[in-house]
């Protein structure tokens, strides 16, 4: 694989970014691609390791050394075929995946790992540019109908796989456009929505039907839904976590997803009369994950007066922690492009009160510094640091605290059992109602886009097996062997 000794000859090369002042003036993607001649070198860095741990690091089981080798040989169309054999949407993962494959790359033990994510993105973008991405409708239809609820990455992957098996697939989306969290939860500067639209065009040409503004259980009855031969629930984990904190009801305390969704809708021409804006405000983002980072980037584009980020956990080490050695996912400080655009980051801090004026408008946050007491065999204990209370000026507080699980409407109306975390309970993606399956965050809890695609693919295989008694759809570790 790759060039013998290529990892010693070439250093890692990543995409660069436009200057901060230029990119925060708009909502466009701002990465600068690696030059074409350098991509061959990047593929050459794949070192033909004895056991490619990147396979185990990737939730999709992507054949990473294989497509790296094709890039090294400049066989781009072959690289695309290999990549698409395991990943339905490399254009999404190539932009948004945190790349667990790279964290488990064998080369990462001694040098910078292979730039797997960027190679993946380069392959799929080359495929679209060259016209190699073509609709692949099934040659025959089975006569079976399947409803997929939710058009995020899990729903889209399940739909495409089931359509390939010959079933007639209808995807229901309660919002006004296809994409789920990809559409309205991810800012445009990380994923321009034309990337979703061009893929939907391909899926429609393959024979998948999309219906928007359909909220099952609200304006579309479960009786109508049960008319389908099978159902795949891919609605995501959309119950947002809040805080049991005094003053949480103050005007100016806003859920992050509302803030991000409104901005994307306005960007594409929708009218949001009461849009939450960060312009000229002291903004505090509570939560240090990707959603918090997205709020920081959006606030900077709004023209916030200041942007501050709170995280209740300790500051991670700059390098890989000894507690998470290779090939595990590392405990390590992550600095996103949004952080680089301007943000005061604070760790080990807890919000005690949202302070408001006599009109109920947010004016500040009261915080306290904390530490975590770790006792073997017991849950970590949060301890407040005496005398560390502080008042922060704040006009807009954005809660980027993650999600607690899927909404209950569908599970209650369809009679689906849930687990102790309120996720939809399933065995081999099949719920307690035999013809209903579930995948993605709705089944496993809040997770990564790459996991959602994997879940959609695996669930589709189980649905096909249920409907037909056998299946030729691929599964991780089993290639294209039929199930007997």
pLDDT tens per residue across span 169-210: 999 999 999 999 999 999 999 999 999 999 999 999 999 999
Tokens 């119950």 belong to: 239
Q: What are all long-range contacts of 320-326, with beta carbons under 8 Å and residues at least 24 apart?
A: 326/103, 326/104, 326/108, 326/109
What's the rounded Cα separation, in Å, for the pair 59 and 67? Answer: 17
Token pair of 289 as six digits: 């994950």
Predicted pLDDT at 436: 98
Exposure b/e, 80-96, CB count within 10 A at least 16 = b: bbbbbebbbbbbbbbbb
Nearest Cα neighbor of 155 from 94, 77, 234, 263 is 234
Predicted pLDDT at 47: 85
Nearest Cα neighbor of 174 from 235, 89, 252 is 235
CA atoms within 13 A on the CB side of 17: 15
The CA distances from residue 90 to 171, 353, 448, in Å, are 20, 43, 14
Tokens 């409407």 belong to: 409
Look at strands 381-384 and 145-149 and give their pairing: unpaired
Listed as ranges, residues in the chain with pLDDT below 50 are 478-484
Q: Are 371 and 383 in contact (CB under 8 A)?
A: yes
Burial class (CB in 10 A: 0-12, 13-18, 19+), 362: buried
The 10 Å Cβ neighbour count of residue 356 is 17
Element (DSSP H or E) covering residue 209: strand 209-211
Strand partners, 240: 403
The CA distances from residue 199 to 87, 173, 266, 394, 461, in Å, are 13, 16, 22, 41, 21
Look at strands 403-405 and 239-240 and give their pairing: antiparallel
Nearest Cα neighbor of 199 from 91, 77, 78 is 91
What's the rounded Cα separation, in Å, for the pair 90 and 102? Answer: 15
Predicted pLDDT at 2: 65
In degrees and rounded to multiples of 5, residue 233 shows phi and psi of -90, 115
To the question of pTM greater than 0.75 for the whole model, the response is: yes
Q: Are 358 and 394 in contact (CB under 8 A)?
A: no
Token pair of 40 as six digits: 């061959």
Strands (E), 227-374: 230-233, 239-240, 253-255, 282-286, 306-311, 344-347, 349-356, 362-373
């Amino acid at each position: 694989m790759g060039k013998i000794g290529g990892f010693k000859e070439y250093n890692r090369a990543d995409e660069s970014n436009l200057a901060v002042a230029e990119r925060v003036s708009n909502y466009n993607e701002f990465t600068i691609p690696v030059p074409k001649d350098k991509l061959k070198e990047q593929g050459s860095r794949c070192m033909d390791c004895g056991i490619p741990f990147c396979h185990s690091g990737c939730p999709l089981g992507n054949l990473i050394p294989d497509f790296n080798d094709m890039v090294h040989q400049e066989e781009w169309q072959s690289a695309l075929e290999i990549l698409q054999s395991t990943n339905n949407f490399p254009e999404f993962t190539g932009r948004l995946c945190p790349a667990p494959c790279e964290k488990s790359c064998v080369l990462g033990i001694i040098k910078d790992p292979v730039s797997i994510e960027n190679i993946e993105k380069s392959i799929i973008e080359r495929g679209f540019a060259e016209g190699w991405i073509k609709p692949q409708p099934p040659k025959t239809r089975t006569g079976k109908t399947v409803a997929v609820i939710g058009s995020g990455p899990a729903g889209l992957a399940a739909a495409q796989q089931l359509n390939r098996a010959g079933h007639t697939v209808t995807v229901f989306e309660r919002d006004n456009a296809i994409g789920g969290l990809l559409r309205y939860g991810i800012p445009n500067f990380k994923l321009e929505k034309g990337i979703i639209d061009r893929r939907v065009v391909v899926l429609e040409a393959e024979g998948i039907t999309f219906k928007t503004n359909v909220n099952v259980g609200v304006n579309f009855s479960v009786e109508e839904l049960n008319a389908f031969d099978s159902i795949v629930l891919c609605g995501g984990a959309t119950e947002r976590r809040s805080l049991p904190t005094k003053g949480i009801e103050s005007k100016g305390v806003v859920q992050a997803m509302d803030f991000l969704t409104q901005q994307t809708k306005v960007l594409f021409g929708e009218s949001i009369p009461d849009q939450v804006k960060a312009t000229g405000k002291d903004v505090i983002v509570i939560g240090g994950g990707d959603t918090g980072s997205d709020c920081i980037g959006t606030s900077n584009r709004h023209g916030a007066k200041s942007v501050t980020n709170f995280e209740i956990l300790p500051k991670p080490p700059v390098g890989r922690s000894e507690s998470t050695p290779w090939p595990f996912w590392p405990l390590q400080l992550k600095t996103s492009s949004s952080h680089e655009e301007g943000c005061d980051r604070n760790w080990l801090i807890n919000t005690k009160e949202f302070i408001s004026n006599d009109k109920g408008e947010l004016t500040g946050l009261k915080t306290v510094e904390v530490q975590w007491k770790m006792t073997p065999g017991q849950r970590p204990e949060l301890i407040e640091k005496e005398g560390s209370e502080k008042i922060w000026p704040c006009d807009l507080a954005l809660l980027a605290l993650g999600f607690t699980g899927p909404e209950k409407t569908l599970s209650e109306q369809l009679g689906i059992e849930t687990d102790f975390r309120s996720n939809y309970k399933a065995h081999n993606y099949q719920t307690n109602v035999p013809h209903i399956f579930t995948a993605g965050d709705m089944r496993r809890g809040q997770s990564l886009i790459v996991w959602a695609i994997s879940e959609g693919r695996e669930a589709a295989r189980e649905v096909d097996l249920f409907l037909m008694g056998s299946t030729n759809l691929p599964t991780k570790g089993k290639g294209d062997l039929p199930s007997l």
